[in-house]
Structure 1
Amino acid sequence: MAALTFLSVPRAQSPLDRAPPTRAVNAVFRVRPRTGFLVVAASRRLVAAAAAPAASAAERDKPFIEEMRAAAMRLHTRDQDRGGEKEAPMEPPVDKWEPTVEGYLRFLVDSKLVFETLEAVVHRAAVPWYAEFRNTGLERSEPLKKDLEWFRQQGHTIPEPCAPGITYASFLEELSVKDPQAFVCHFYNVHFAHTAGGRIIGKKVAEKIHIQKELEFYEWEGDLSQLQQDVRAKLNQVASGWSRAEKDRCLDEMEKAFACSIDLRRHMFP
């Protein structure tokens, strides 16, 4: 998804631009001393002109994580989020899913493979700043391992990873080497989507397939909001060293990241 590009178009300089504010306003008084609205209009133009550079500076200083969140929100519909812009959702509403235990297990197995891949990439840190995302507290491969063991003890057969998980994991490995900024977009989406909509999905699916257990996949050690804030700070820190083109490359990958995550969930809806 393309990020917004801000263009600066030169314009002809007006007399008001060249003159100091007080002289410009006094000129209006001398020409039309009884026409008060002209004075107000001139003053408003001067205030707006003075404020414009400050607004541009604020835009440049906006934390990059806010841009990432805005890019993600635009992929929701208004029913899903107030900031949504999609005409139609990218997947059916959870209430219309018809999950089975077998399908849910395939989702958990594929999710485990994806989280293992993300964790392995940042642990190796072939790109040095990947190391910033080690041991964030949002890692999910170990909790998923414990959950799958619990299902096995209940008599369920644990499947091998399926095509969606294998394909996504392989894609992440390749992306982490060839396109680090795009990889970070997937890292962000996988972790933060799970802490938000993923928890809602987990609860509703568990109700539909009658799981009488709170899975560790949906539990975090410590304060989740603080863990999230710490990762946001790391993302902002890393992105502060990127060019505008590199930031835009990260944002452009958001729709692909959404599509890959939805592919993992297809095990649970028709």
Structure 2
Amino acid sequence: MNGVIVASTTAEKSKKRNPGESKGFVEEMRFVAMRLHTKDQAKEGEKEVKQPEEKTVAKWEPSVDGYLKFLVDSKLVYDTLEKIVQEPAYPSYAEFRNTGLERSASLAKDLEWFKEQGHTIPEPSSPGLTYAQYLTELSEKDPQAFICHFYNIYFAHSAGGRMIGKKVAQKILNNKELEFYKWDGDLSQLLQNVRDKLNKVAEEWIREEKDHCLEETEKSFKFSGQILRLVLS
């Protein structure tokens, strides 16, 4: 009798689906990411505000120097991601070449603009260097975890990142819109194309690999948060 109960419980567990699972793996990643947002950052957010960068952007006091540090470290991360997919350690990464979401060239133009305004462009700092090294190492040995970071970096920038860019521009850049926040073509379509590719790649993974990818989300937020905090330094 006990054996029957155990078997039925196991069957129930395997039937129990993750939030969003029926819509594809990207929706599962989105659900996990949303839980790590605060209510200020997203309607579905559940996290309490603890770090300075988690406060509502209206309360931020950004400086041009801090923002430049953020842009330089962000560029290093995007350079690293673009290099990884161009020279893939795993064939699946090649799916993510030339998606239209790339930010490296845009950031290079923005940094050039700041230079023309007389600002000194800093060298990359610890948050960017640490994250870039982590992504490089991860991409060589742990494709599922790497894909988690790839998704969260690009998709977060297209949503909350744009909102932050707009608010910071209002406060310190006289509303100038940087290239970092512009895309060639319809952004929603570019994102959908990448969603489709991510879902396709994840179809090859077993459930444990998918769960392993989802578990990496918190680290992705931690690394990105450290870079974002530079805006306020």
TM > 0.5 fold call? yes
Q: 1:168 maps to what in 2?
A: 131
Query: 2:92 matched to 1:129?
Result: yes
Do residues 68 (structure 1) and 29 (structure 2) align? yes
Q: 1: distance between equivalents of 2:218 and 2:187?
A: 25
TM-score by length of 2: 0.89
Give the corresponding residue for 2:39: 78
Q: 1:77, 1:89 within 8 Å by CA — same for their partners in 2?
A: no
Mapped partners of 2:229, 2:44: distance in 1 = 25
Q: How many pairs align?
A: 222
After alignment, is 210-219 or 146-155 more displaced?
210-219
Contact 2:166–2:175 (CA<8 Å) still a contact in 1?
no
Cα distance between partner residues in 2 of 1:59 and 1:112? 31
Q: 1:158 aligns with which of 115, 121, 131?
A: 121
Task: Name the % identity.
Answer: 63
1:62 positional shift: 3.6
Distance 1:210 1:59 in 2: 39
Q: Which of these residues, 158, 180, 188, is aligned with residue 217 of structure 1? A: 180
Q: How does 1:27-176 map to 2 (within 5 A)?
A: 61-88=22-49, 90=51, 91-176=54-139
Task: State the distance in 2 between where 1:145 and 1:236 align.
Answer: 31
Aligned to 2:206: 243
Residues 156 and 178 of structure 1: CA distance in aligned 2, closer, same or farther (over 3 Å):
same
Contact between 1:76 and 1:89, CA under 8 Å: does it hold in 2?
no
Aligned to 2:221: 258
Q: Distance in 2 between matches of 1:173 and 1:94?
A: 31
Return the letter of the residue paired with 1:138: L
Instruction: Tell me how far apart the structure 2 counterparts of residues 60 and 212 of structure 1 sit (CA, whole Å).
Output: 40
Confirm or deny: 8 A CA contact 2:73 2:127 kept in the other structure.
Answer: yes
Return the letter of the residue paired with 1:151: F
Counterpart pick for 2:158 among 191, 195, 200: 195
Residues 185, 250 of structure 1: 8 Å contact kept = yes
Q: What do residues 61-93 of structure 1 show as CA deviations (whole Å, max 9, x unaligned)?
A: 540011000010111233433322223355222
Cα RMSD for the two superposed structures: 2.2
8 Å contact from structure 2 (residues 81, 150) kept in 1: yes
Q: Which runs of 5+ in 2 are unaligned?
A: none
Q: Matched residues in 2 for 1:203 and 1:59: separation?
A: 30
> How far has the Cα of 1:207 moved from its partner?
1.2
Matched residue SS, 1:105: helix
Matched residues in 2 for 1:250 and 1:126: separation?
17
Partner SS, residue 82 of structure 2: helix
Moved over 6 A (4+): 53-56
